Structure 1
Amino acid sequence: MQFKGRTVIAFVLLGMFASSILTLTFTGRNLLPLGSKSVGASATAGSSGLSSQDVGKIAKTYQLIENKYLNKVDHDKIMNGAINGMLESLEDPYTVYMDSNEAKQFSESINSSFEGIGAEVTSEDGKIKVVSPIKGSPAEKAGIMANDVIVSVNGEKLDGLTVNQAVVKIRGQKGTQAKLEILRQGSTEPVQVIVVRDEIDIETVFGEMLEGGIGKIEIRQFSANTAEHFQEELKKLETQGMKGLVIDVRNDPGGLLNVVIDIVEPFVPKGKPIVQIENREGKREATTSKDGSKKYPVVVLTNKGSASASEILAGAFKEAVGSKTVGETTFGKGTVQETYVKEMGDGSNIKMTVYKWLTPDGNWIHKKGIEPDIAVEQPAFFKASILSKKDTLKPDSNSDDVKNLQLMLTGVGYEPGRTDGYYSSKTADAVKAFQKSSSLPVTGNVDTATAKKLESAVLEAVKLPKNDNQLKAAVKELQTQLSK
């Protein structure tokens, strides 16, 4: 997977918002003062501040554009372009400028709820790609999946936009429609998906007891109250006699670093590092565990949508605790950004990379991710594309749509005979069987009504534990450990 030109921002980015914030924020830990300076500090001898000649060149350039350029120009557009140009020269996709409108969207996304489609997106080589939909969100219900490329929103193309600019277009008021053109891996033509925006309320922790005394806690975001809620769910499971624990951070884009430290610390032996931070001079400082009271086995579930704080959790359990990770290689986000709001003074802000974070053993997973100890892929139908619904699918046709139809039929328990994209008579029989069980006209052809019904059935099948190969593998690993 190529990461060139990639930028990431969560629709639900969570942080502590003051004059400036860290995307991964430490609280009550002596880690941040690694020789960092205030933005407003005066330049010391030998530092490279702006000279009077530099300032003059910038002013002269603006004056020439304003007075000589063929067309009239917008002052704010030119100024924003100048700032963007400086930041882009750093060639760091995580260092970005937000104008006042984009900054407002960013600020709103820090709250525990917001209005939109409910998905995290990234910019990769100029294209807006979904990292993960939020569970239970309109995006997930509409069939949006990780790695889908959003080509356009309500007819407006997104190619070439920054992530912040794209987010402004994708988000909107509850009840309004976002008509998205989606291109999925393996498909050559985009399909239209209509998502009705809603209020996205972020519930971050979900616990349940599985068979054999194995507990499972799913963490969807690392927000301000996540550690507290995690401890509550953990205590419930322990009271029920839990023997081993699965922590599920699949499709978790991250959040607050102090929160993930609080979650992990009880499992890490006292004195061992949980995470390390490195500044521009290469100076490192580690956060070490002061607890380590939890002794039962833990397995961590990860996938390509596990990013940032999720990777810190996975890395800590893997290296400091010795736990197994199961699933897929994680996203690969190993930097910390600080956001400067007050310093800009006009409602805009700059989100700038200021630190690296490293695993307990000092590994930097940036652009590489954390490989699972036990690699497990989900069933093929998990990656089936949304059907285009441009034409009714009929026997003897051959297309990507038919291939995805066959994957979907297999996923919901109907045997299409083949999965190569040719609409055979056996595929038609499978369609008829599905139509009959769904109280649809039994034609053997896939019209819009059949396509939508089938897509809904697939979404439900994806949620069933019996189809979750990764969870089953995690449970099996714990059972093996407990039997020793």
Structure 2
Amino acid sequence: MKDSLEKRVIKTVAIVLVTAIVTGFALVKIGFLGFVPPAEYKKYAKYKALEASIKKEFYKKPDEKKLEDATYKGLFSGLDDVYSAYYTADEMKQLLEVSTGKYVGIGFVVGADKGTGAIKVESVMDNSPAKASGVKKGDLVIAVNGKKYSYMEMDIAVKNLRGPENTSVKISFLRDGQKLEKTITRKEIKIVSIESKMLENKIGYINIKGFEEDTSKDFRKALDKLEAQGMKALIIDVRDDGGGLLTVVEDICDRILGKAVIVYTQDRQGHKEYMKSSDKEKIDKPIVVLTNGNSASASEILTGAILDNKAGISIGETTYGKGLVQGMLKLRDGSGYKITTAQYFTPNGSYIDKKGIKPTIEIKDKNQQLSKAVEYLNGKIEK
């Protein structure tokens, strides 16, 4: 599936580049000269006229690189899709750093608070500068270094939250209607994506905090250790996990599901692609997945795969509801983009975007969710 997705993304890039290389009425495309239809020419003529006006009339000399980047960013903002965006070379570099599980920043995870239009702190990492500065889950990020951002500009805000180690960033938060100003010093953050332990009655517990490059390897290590200790059942906790790499979900499902459909995608043309796990490994033990409203994307794919394949149940709250697939491509100059290419569906055909996955057993009190999972699994083990 990954290969064909990359082909679709590459095709999109070709179209973007071709339609961008315009001189007068002519279009130069891979060695031959064609002509731009009048309607297309009017579009580019208007752009060139506006650009010329800016360069001539603006009260100071504009930064041409910023104008160029803003053009590309504007193209993607016209999709009205929070998940699609253009990134400069610097932004792309920092975006790719996160997937490795290590970056320089202040240590909190953000999401979109569509009710207020703000960027919301979804979780704060332990032993991070943000934690030490008193940042709390639920705080709204309203400005970074004096510049205001909405959730539609979340990627750019995150880019500005990061920076060189031992430098500082000033952040304006809103908490319970009160504005808070904090200056936080950045440091290297190592994302610990897996935590595990053995609970009572040989019930294994694995908390997946993010689906990063090393997560599947760490998941396998944790599971092997629990099985060596005589694990009888398993709890997988994806609460407050905003997702990550789809290949990591695939590898985890290889380890726990056996041969099964994990997820399938459908593009605008109706073409479907299926991701399946292998039958080499499987956990033949009861499983509970813990979810909440911040369990999104890869977390929902894993949850849906476990539920629809009847490998376990879920306990907690309805998940976030992100049923869209993004492709990402880095261009030759270091810049790149992310674009929504398809919708995804759980193995049984459920489309969860903006709806989420309802838990098998709903428990709204976070403090009772784990104990309910233990209670349920104890009943299964005794049988």
Bucket of the pairwise TM-score, normalised by the shorter protein: 0.7 to 0.9
Q: Which residue of 2 is the match for residue 469 of structure 1?
A: 368
Which is richer in strand? 2
The CA deviation at 1:215 is 0.4
Q: Which residue of 2 is the match for residue 62 of structure 1?
A: 51
Q: Which residue of 2 is the match for residue 84 of structure 1?
A: 73
Q: Which residue of 1 is the match for residue 25 of structure 2?
A: none
Q: Which residue of 2 is the match for residue 402 of structure 1?
A: none
TM-score of the two chains, using structure 1 as the length reference:
0.67
Give the alignment's Cα RMSD to 1 decimal.
3.1
Tell me how far apart the structure 1 counterparts of residues 256 and 294 of structure 2 sit (CA, whole Å): 24
Tell me how far apart the structure 2 counterparts of residues 210 and 155 of structure 1 sit (CA, whole Å): 47
The answer as to 2:242 corresponding to 1:253 is yes
Q: Which residue of 2 is the match for residue 323 of structure 1?
A: 312
Superposition pairs of residues 99-118 of structure 1, within 5 angstroms: 99-118=88-107
Residue deviations 1:28-85 (CA, integer Å, cap 9, x gap): x8776679835226799xx999944433332233223322456543323332332222
Q: Which residue of 1 is the match for residue 159 of structure 2?
A: 168
Q: Which residue of 2 is the match for residue 265 of structure 1?
A: 254
Superposition pairs of residues 84-163 of structure 1, within 5 angstroms: 84-124=73-113, 126-159=117-150, 162-163=153-154
Equivalent residues of 2:99, 2:244 under 8 A apart:
no
Q: Which amino acid aligns with 1:482?
A: I
Tell me how far apart the structure 1 counterparts of residues 336 and 9 of structure 2 sit (CA, whole Å): 23
Tell me how far apart the structure 2 counterparts of residues 180 and 64 of structure 1 sit (CA, whole Å): 35
The CA deviation at 1:226 is 1.8
Indicate the SS of the match to 1:173: coil
Q: Structure 1 residue aligned with 2:225, among 229, 232, 236?
A: 236
- Structure 1 residues 196, 475: closer, same or farther in 2, change over 3 A? farther
Residue deviations 1:128-155 (CA, integer Å, cap 9, x gap): 2223223443334444343320123455
Indicate the SS of the match to 1:85: helix
Tell me how far apart the structure 2 counterparts of residues 206 and 166 of structure 1 sit (CA, whole Å): 29
The answer as to 2:275 corresponding to 1:287 is yes
The CA deviation at 1:209 is 0.7
Tell me how far apart the structure 1 counterparts of residues 169 and 381 of structure 2 sit (CA, whole Å): 48
Equivalent residues of 2:295, 2:320 under 8 A apart:
yes
The CA deviation at 1:156 is 4.5
Residue deviations 1:74-113 (CA, integer Å, cap 9, x gap): 3233323322222222111111122233233223333331
Q: Which amino acid aligns with 1:245?
A: L
Tell me how far apart the structure 2 counterparts of residues 143 and 320 of structure 1 sit (CA, whole Å): 42
TM-score of the two chains, using structure 2 as the length reference:
0.84
The CA deviation at 1:183 is 2.0
- Structure 1 residues 257, 49: closer, same or farther in 2, change over 3 A? farther
Tell me how far apart the structure 2 counterparts of residues 160 and 304 of structure 1 sit (CA, whole Å): 17
The CA deviation at 1:360 is 0.8
Q: Which amino acid aligns with 1:356?
A: Q
The CA deviation at 1:123 is 4.2
Identity %, equivalent residues: 37
Q: Which amino acid aligns with 2:374?
A: V
Q: Which residue of 2 is the match for residue 274 of structure 1?
A: 262
The answer as to 2:378 corresponding to 1:479 is yes
- Structure 1 residues 377, 142: closer, same or farther in 2, change over 3 A? farther
Indicate the SS of the match to 2:355: coil
Q: Which amino acid aligns with 1:376?
A: I
Residue deviations 1:289-325 (CA, integer Å, cap 9, x gap): 3316321000011122222111111111111134111
Tell me how far apart the structure 2 counterparts of residues 223 and 179 of structure 1 sit (CA, whole Å): 28
Indicate the SS of the match to 1:102: helix
Tell me how far apart the structure 2 counterparts of residues 301 and 219 of structure 1 sit (CA, whole Å): 10
Equivalent residues of 2:316, 2:361 under 8 A apart:
yes
The answer as to 2:329 corresponding to 1:355 is no
Bigger Rg over Cα = 1
Q: Which amino acid aligns with 2:174?
A: L
Residue deviations 1:218-270 (CA, integer Å, cap 9, x gap): 11221222222211211111111110000111222222111111111343353
Indicate the SS of the match to 1:54: helix
Equivalent residues of 2:113, 2:151 under 8 A apart:
no
Residue deviations 1:364-384 (CA, integer Å, cap 9, x gap): 2112222222222346xxxxx
Tell me how far apart the structure 1 counterparts of residues 381 and 163 of structure 2 sit (CA, whole Å): 49
The CA deviation at 1:334 is 1.7
Tell me how far apart the structure 1 counterparts of residues 240 and 335 of structure 2 sit (CA, whole Å): 29
Tell me how far apart the structure 1 counterparts of residues 356 and 215 of structure 2 sit (CA, whole Å): 23
Tell me how far apart the structure 1 counterparts of residues 225 and 104 of structure 2 sit (CA, whole Å): 32
Tell me how far apart the structure 1 counterparts of residues 7 and 212 of structure 2 sit (CA, whole Å): 23
Q: How many residues align?
A: 364
Indicate the SS of the match to 1:62: helix
Tell me how far apart the structure 2 counterparts of residues 148 and 176 of structure 1 sit (CA, whole Å): 22
Tell me how far apart the structure 2 counterparts of residues 124 and 53 of structure 1 sit (CA, whole Å): 38
Tell me how far apart the structure 2 counterparts of residues 157 and 51 of structure 1 sit (CA, whole Å): 35
Structure 2: segments with no counterpart, 5+ residues: 20-28, 30-35
Q: Which residue of 2 is the match for residue 202 of structure 1?
A: 191
The answer as to 2:171 corresponding to 1:180 is yes
